[in-house]
Structure 1
Amino acid sequence: MGLKVDNALSYKGRIISVVFVAVLLLFIRGMVIMHFGRAPHPLPIPALIPLVIAWYLGKHYDKYVHLSMRDTLTGLYNRRYVLDKFPRVMTYVNKRKLNIAILVLDVNGFKEINDNYGHDYGDQVLEQLSKILCKSFGQKDIIARWGGDEFLILSTFSDEKLVINKINQFKNEIKREDWQQKSDISVSIGKATYPSDAVSLKELMAKADSNMYELKMSDKQMNATKREESMLH
């Protein structure tokens, strides 16, 4: 059985609301019996009205909670959801002796993309990247927009090769994507592993951020070297 990711709308608010109203109605029924010595009809039609209202209000509460855990632009999970979920993910992997890959990624040159092509196009890039992330990683992985152009993925694993394969698939999908011929989109990805690198989310993200920055600097130096070589030939 895999880690449960909360993709569907919860019924928690509806269940609590209906149960509360049902208990209240039973209490009122008991009071009526005490005072009048007899019970009303087992299920009077008017009793259904507060139950329906309770279900309706509970549904709106469930929807509010669901949306509060989502990023408004991409529909991915947000920082609040990750902070709430991570302790439960740790409990899950500790019981099963698994690991967690914490992947931090951002879009290379995203500021220039916004400056050159506008913020609307920048938003489209983030939305499309979100779709590619969902396509490349599994349903049991937690994919979140951490803020700005930064994304966070939590992926539980027993074999690290599976995580590497997902990363490679994601990068290949980016290369194949049609970016309206405006710019070449690329990302930098840093990885940290629980529990070998750290045990707190803050420390793991710091490690992944550091690895991402090193890769980003390495890629910049490599590209600069290639440009210099092309100018010499």
Structure 2
Amino acid sequence: MGYKGRLIAACIVIMFNVIRYMYYHQYLDNPFEASFFVLTLIFLTVAWIGGWQYDLAKFYAEKDPLTNAYNRRTIDKVFKKQVSISKCTGKKIGVVLIDLDDFKGVNDTYGHQIGDALLRYVADLIKMNAKSDDLIVRWGGDEFVHVIPNVEEGFQTEYVNNLKKQLTNLNMETITSIDASIGIAIYPDDGDSFEMLIQQADASMYEMKNK
């Protein structure tokens, strides 16, 4: 969770109190009293709490609370920004759709608590393989989308092999291995909108699943 709301609120209070000090104690020449700091502290506390509420609301509006990955409502806005950058730089964008195979069997065998732990583990695993400007999204129940700017030609094979290898060596007490079907689409080769790219990645993923 970020600090943007709290920092902005605190800055507004500080600016207000600087103006208050200049007006009452410099311009009007009123005597300075210790209550000035007491009121400033109260204002800062109220502002910090209000800013925290804003940061919390923004966090839950953008993030999936279980995995701390982004949710589907965020991806359109971020992807449009990445497309604008891609048009300027000429770099391509990879859209990777990851579906855990037989995840229902995990829930049925070990329970939903273990299933949730597995989802958090996989989300963290994808984040570990991501760059700072990548976007990891929980797309559905057991599906994730990894948007990768500035992909190199032929990165698909290396990505799939690396992730599958890591998924077969899970450092979990109950589950040590799980397979995944992975589909990949490239902007602008496979489409010029996120909807088209996700459809192409979905078709590619089901081709792998059927094999």
Aligned residue in 2 for 1:10? 2
List aligned pairs for 1:65-214, cutoff 5 A. Answer: 65-162=58-155, 164-177=157-170, 184-214=177-207
Contact 2:17 2:40 in 1 (8 A): no
Amino acid corresponding to residue 126 of structure 1 in structure 2: L
Structure 1 stretches of 5 or more lacking a match? 1-8, 220-233
Q: Distance in 1 between matches of 2:99 and 2:3?
A: 34
CA contact (8 A) 1:103 1:189 kept: yes
How far, CA to CA, are the matches of 1:182 and 1:10 in structure 2? 33
Change (3 A) 1:53 1:137: same
177 and 28 in structure 1: CA distance in 2 versus 1, 3 angstrom threshold? closer
Q: Distance in 2 between matches of 1:91 and 1:11?
A: 27
Q: CA deviation at 1:18?
A: 2.6
Contact 2:170–2:177 (CA<8 Å) still a contact in 1? no
- What's 2:50 paired with? 57
CA displacement 1:132-181 (0-9 Å, x = unmatched): 21223333321121120010000012413445423321111111225657
The alignment's TM-score, normalised by the length of structure 2, stands at 0.82
The answer as to whether partners of 1:179 and 1:185 remain within 8 angstroms in 2 is no
Distance 1:87 1:79 in 2: 14
Rounded Cα–Cα distance in structure 2 between residues aligned with 1:164 and 1:42: 70
Q: 2-side partners of 1:181 and 1:45: how far apart? A: 55
Give the match for residue 4 of structure 1.
Answer: none
AA aligned opposite 2:97: V
What is the match of residue 29 of structure 2?
A: 38
Identity of aligned residues (%): 29
